[in-house]
Copies of this chain bind each other. A is one copy, B any other.
Amino acid sequence: MNLEAAVYMIPVGISDAGPEAVVPADTLEAMRGIRHFIVENVRTARRWLRRCTPGCDIDSMTFSELSRHTRPEEIPAMLEPLRRGEPVGVMSEAGCPGVADPGAQVVAIAQREGFRVVPLVGPSSLLLALMASGFNGQGFTFNGYLPIADSERTAAIRRLEKTARNHGVTQIFIETPYRNRKMLDTLVATLRPDTLLCVAVAITDPEHQQIVTLPAAKWKNRRIELEKQPAVFLIG
C-alpha cells in the first residue's frame, strides 16, 4: 500500500481485547503501510503491531521512543523519515496517541513544518468512560492526574466538585492502578454525599468491564475490582 507522507496517529488497545474490538479496518490498513514509528514504549508498540498486522516484517521497521523521559531536543530528528517523504506512525502505550501521553510534542513539530497529520479511529478510555457515565458530554474537562500529596489532592477534588456542581462541567481524571483504591477512598471521604461519581475500569474488556455511576455516599459499600488496572474517574 502506498500511503501519503504524513504523521498517522495510531490508537493502541487499552485492554487485552484484540484489534477487532477497538480499531476499524482502515486503521489496520494504514498500519500496514507504515515502516517508521514514534512510540511511547517500543515493546508495547511491537506487540500491538504484531497483533494488528500479522506477518508484518517487524525487523525492517524503525522505532523511536518518545516518552516523558525524552529530551525535547531529541524529538525533531524523529520526523526525518517524513521529511524524506515516508509516512510516520505515532503510538502511545495505550489508547489514542496525543491524549494523556507525550505524543503531542511530535505532532506540534509536524504541524509547524506544514506536514499533514492523520488521526485514526480507536479506543480512548476517557471518551468511552464519558459516553457511559451519563454525565454532561456537552461540557467536560480532562485533568490528567491529580496531585499526590494528601492536602493538595483533597483541595483539587473539592475544586473539581465545585466546577462540576456549579457549572455542570464534567470533570475527568485518571490514576495509576496501584493508587486507585486510595483515590476512591479519598473521593468518598471528600465529596458531598449526593455528588455523582463514576468509576470506569476495564472499559473495552467485555468480561471485566465496569462503568458505574453512583452518588459518592453509595460508593462506600460498593465493591469494585480496582487493583492492577487503569481507572478513569468522573465527577458529574
Contact surface of A with B, Cβ cutoff 8 Å:
9, 17, 19-26, 96-101, 103-105, 107-112, 116-119, 121-124, 126-144, 169, 198, 203-204, 206, 209, 211-214
Contact = CB atoms under 8 A, between A and B. Distances in A.
Most B Cβ at <10 Å: residue of A116, A130, A139: A130
A20 to B, nearest CB: 4
A134 B121 contact: no
A100 B206 CA distance: 25
Contact of A133 (B20, B107, B129, B133): B107
A17 B26 CA distance: 10
A98 B234 CA distance: 14
Contacts of A141: 139-142, 169
Contacts of A132: 9, 98, 107, 117-119
A144 B170 CA distance: 12
Contacts of A131: 9, 96-99, 103, 107, 119
Nearest to A214: B111
- Interface of chain A, helix or strand or loop or mixed? mixed
8 contacts: A25-B25, A105-B134, A109-B134, A110-B134, A116-B209, A117-B132, A118-B209, A139-B142
Q: How many copies of this chain does one complex carry? A: 2
A44 to B, nearest CB: 18
Nearest to A105: B134
Most B Cβ at <10 Å: residue of A105, A128, A209: A128
Most B Cβ at <10 Å: residue of A105, A117, A129: A117
Contacts of A111: 133-134, 198, 212-214
A107 B104 CA distance: 32
A137 B98 contact: yes
B134 A144 contact: no
B212 A98 contact: no
A144 B139 contact: yes
A14 B203 CA distance: 23
Contacts of A211: 116-117, 119
B134 A104 contact: yes
B138 A100 contact: yes
A121 B128 contact: yes
A197 to B, nearest CB: 11
